[in-house]
Chains A and B, each alone.
Chain A
Amino acid sequence: MYQYNDFDRDFLAERNAQFRAQVERRIDGSLTEDEFKPLRLMNGLYLQLHAYMLRVAIPYGTLNGGQMRQLAMIADRWDKGYGHFTTRQNIQYNWPELRDVPDMLDALGEVGMHAIQTSGNTIRNVTADHFAGAAADEIEDPRPTAELLRQWSTDHPEFQFLPRKFKIAVTGSPNDRAVTKAHDIGLRMVRNDAGEPGFEVIIGGGLGRTPMVGKVLREFLPKADLLPYCEAIVSVYNLLGRRDNKYKARIKITVHENGLETIHDLVEERFALLRPQFKGVDQEMLAGIEAQFAAPEFTTASVAPFKDAYHHDPVFRSWVDTNITKHRNDDYAIVSISLKSQGQTPGDATSEQMRVMAELAEEFAHNELRISHEQNVILPHVHKSNLPAIHAKLKENGLATANIGLISDIIACPGMDYCALATARSIPVAQQIATRFHELKLEHEIGELKIKISGCINACGHHHVGHIGILGLDRAGVENYQITLGGDGSETATIGERAGPGFAYDEIVPAVERLIYAYLDLREGEDETFLQTYRRLGLAPFKSALYPEAKANAA
């Protein structure tokens, strides 16, 4: 795993010392809030509804046991004993006090972590497939690329004041688990006809107010050209992107307004100029980084204990069936630890749970952990013989919920329980949906279903790409929830369709229930997922399930 070098460490220490001085100057009155705000945002510190919030980057979602322990320590010492994992593979602390933040940043720095560029109009935390380096379907581990992009974009002098924030996601697999098509730049590893790995470059995707599926700018970009090509894209955007209107400033609008062709030509032109300037330094760097991401030394042992437990323990079996993904090594498994036990706040982990996960990683999983954009935690490399012990430990700590990919594995943004921008709550809606279907004992029968909830149009909860998306709005001073259907965040990305008028807070869970019963009636057998049924039949039958009165009135 990538280890911070002296340069990174010095840079962090210097940044933290600067911020400490800025906080002091804010407190003694020499800085006004207008002066201080951009400085705190550059260091990931927001002021939310009830308190400050510190957003810490977990680059490409990768961390080790020691880092997870430190996150737990920070939660205990300066927060309320828990943390919230987000759809951007960050962790957020909801209750820090201003005076403590410099200490929190120093504590993060001790384990090579930081909160830089988690805000502002810069290139944000580069996200990656949470199964990177482990997935059976992977061409190559995308994290060295993500790390290269991180180093290139961190404090890049040209890109500190972009027209708007800029998000990059990268996946090394044809199956897109990183929602690359909803990013400003999405990089999907593919092979060319000669069998060499490279990237399909996707630009202009994004959710928010104007959701758009990213468009392919280059079908195949050789790996070696990645940095100059990305730099070309960002610099074309930096010039062309609109600064007059915040809502039209993202690259998706730049692409939309100028046309893909024009952007393509400008990028290629710029790329031709930039490419020779890179002189291969980036490739030397990449080689160094790749060495640090070398796969762990896989152990060979009998998988008999696993088979035995699978055979005898139905609870273990159910957990394996839902929470385990195929590893590229047959004797290994990828474990998804659900942070979605029914009724819990999606993505929250207590400090104790963080320590348990750290311990499991250290003891059984080559000291590696990942955070998924779906707000769960992953142990990417687990020898199958260790699965029973891991499951037992998770169970003791409320972490063994067998629901990955099911209806209660809901993405929900903080919404109006925390976020200052929110127009409605999202967490309680998620809690109630999960609890309801758990009571109905229908979860496993319903099968694969992604519900995603956002508390405002900014769409941090990815509602547009939820099979069922829920958007919380403020309608005349009352919470109101709009449903979209048929969204998809995978390689077949689709923006969901609006189903019709919104629902009141106490109507939204019954509405989802009607949808699900309609699906169970309509599906052609148990193997047809909600999304497949929706694609086969379209909106109409679901609409009548959602709005039975309308149907009755029309009849």
Chain B
Amino acid sequence: MSKPFTPKVVTANALLEGDVVYLDATGEWARDLQDADVLEDQASAELKLLEAEARSHEAVGVYLADVVLKDSYIETTHFRETFRAKGPSNYAHGKQVELK
């Protein structure tokens, strides 16, 4: 049996501001991980990634990041993604304050 698929989100950095963005269900770039469209199977993940890559005039460095859904709350699985979703740990800068 193949490994169970880990859900994914499409993420990148916005071209103009450089901050972390996620693709939402309407095809817009969202700033908050909680607004991301969680892709539950390989085929749709790959398709969305391709689509997003074609939008390099909006966002840069597109890739798929692993997440888990806990009671419809999106959690990151790797600490790098946790920092990307939140901001740096030495100052209250970035998303941890901007999203409030």
Q: Which A residues form the contact surface with B (CB < 8 A)?
A: 26-27, 29, 32-33, 47-52, 80, 95-99, 345, 416-418, 422, 425, 427-428, 431, 474, 477-479
Whether B78 pairs with A431 at a CB distance below 8 angstroms is: no
Tell me whether B15 and A425 are in contact (CB under 8 A). Answer: no
A417 and B19 within 8 A (CB): no
User: A51-B94, A417-B90 provided; 17 other pairs, C-beta below 8 A?
Assistant: A27-B15, A49-B20, A49-B84, A50-B83, A50-B88, A51-B18, A95-B93, A96-B18, A97-B16, A97-B18, A416-B79, A416-B83, A417-B88, A425-B83, A427-B88, A428-B89, A431-B90
Give the residue among A47, A345, A478, A479 with the most B Cβ atoms within 10 A: A47
Question: How far does the Cβ of A497 sit from chain B's closest Cβ, in whole Å?
Answer: 28
Instruction: Give the number of residue pairs across the A-B interface with Cβ within 8 Å.
Output: 73
Pick the 3 closest A-B CB pairs, nearest first: A417-B88, A52-B18, A51-B18
Task: Name B77's closest neighbour in chain A (CB-CB).
Answer: A477
**B100 close to chain A: CB less than 8 A:** no
1/0 contact trace for B62-100 toward A, CB 8 Å? 000000000000000111100110011111011100000
Which residue of chain A is the closest to B56 with respect to CB atoms? A33
Q: Is the C-beta of B57 less than 8 angstroms from some C-beta in chain A?
A: yes
Residue of B nearest to A26 (CB): B15
* Interface residue from B18, B78, B91, B93 paired with A98 (Cβ < 8 Å): B18
Q: Which residues of B contact A96 (CB under 8 A)?
A: 18
B61 within 8 A of A: yes
Task: Choose among B16, B79, B88, B95 the residue that contacts A479 (Cβ–Cβ < 8 A).
Answer: B79
Residues in A neighbouring B18, C-beta threshold 8 A: 47-48, 50-52, 96-98
B90 & A32 in contact (Cβ 8 Å cutoff): no
14 examples of A-B residue contacts, CB within 8 angstroms: A27-B16, A33-B56, A49-B20, A50-B18, A50-B83, A50-B88, A52-B18, A97-B16, A416-B83, A417-B88, A417-B89, A425-B83, A478-B79, A479-B79
A29 contacts which chain B residues (CB < 8 A)? 57
Q: Which one of B56, B61, B90 contacts A427 once the chains associate, using CB atoms below 8 Å?
A: B90
The CB with the most chain A CB atoms within 10 A, among B15, B17, B18, is that of: B18
Complexed CA–CA distance, A33 and B12 (Å):
13
- The answer on a CB contact under 8 Å between B16 and A50 is no
* A297 to B87 Cα, complex, angstroms: 48
A179 to B81, CA, bound (A): 35
| Distance, CA A52 to CA B75, complexed state (A) | 25
Residues from chain B with a CB closer than 8 A to the CB of A95 are: 93
Given A50-B84, A479-B79, is A33 in contact with B19 using a C-beta cutoff of 8 Å? no
Residues in A neighbouring B78, C-beta threshold 8 A: 477
Cβ 8 A contact of B94, one of A47, A50, A98: A50
Which B residues touch A427, using CB under 8 A? 88-90
B15's closest neighbor in chain A, by CB?
A: A98
> Bound complex: CA of A298 vs CA of B18, how far in Å?
48
User: Looking across the interface, which residue of chain B has its beta carbon closest to that of A418?
Assistant: B88
* Contact (Cβ within 8 A) A32 B56: yes
Within 8 Å CB of B33, what residues of A? none
Distance (whole angstroms) from the CB of B59 to the closest CB of chain A: 9
Known contacts A50-B19, A98-B16, A98-B18: A417-B60 contact under CB 8 Å: no
The answer to whether A416 touches B13, judged by C-beta atoms less than 8 angstroms apart, is: no
Closest residue of B by beta carbon distance from A30: B57
- Given A33-B60, A345-B90, A417-B88, A50–B20 Cβ distance below 8 Å? yes
For window 27-71 of B, CB contacts with A under 8 Å fall at 56-57, 60-61
B90 touches A428 (CB 8 A): yes
User: Shortest CB–CB separation between residue B66 and chain A, in angstroms?
Assistant: 10
Report which of B16, B20, B80, B88 forms a contact with A99, defined as CB distance below 8 A.
B16
Contacts of B91 in A (CB 8 A): 80, 345
Chain B residues in 8 Å Cβ range of A48: 18
CB neighbours (8 Å) of A97 from chain B are 16-18
A47 & B83 in contact (Cβ 8 Å cutoff):
no
Q: Which chain B residue has the least Cβ–Cβ distance from A49?
A: B84
Contacts of A50 in B (CB 8 A): 18-20, 83-84, 87-88, 93-95
B89 with A425: CB separation less than 8 A? yes
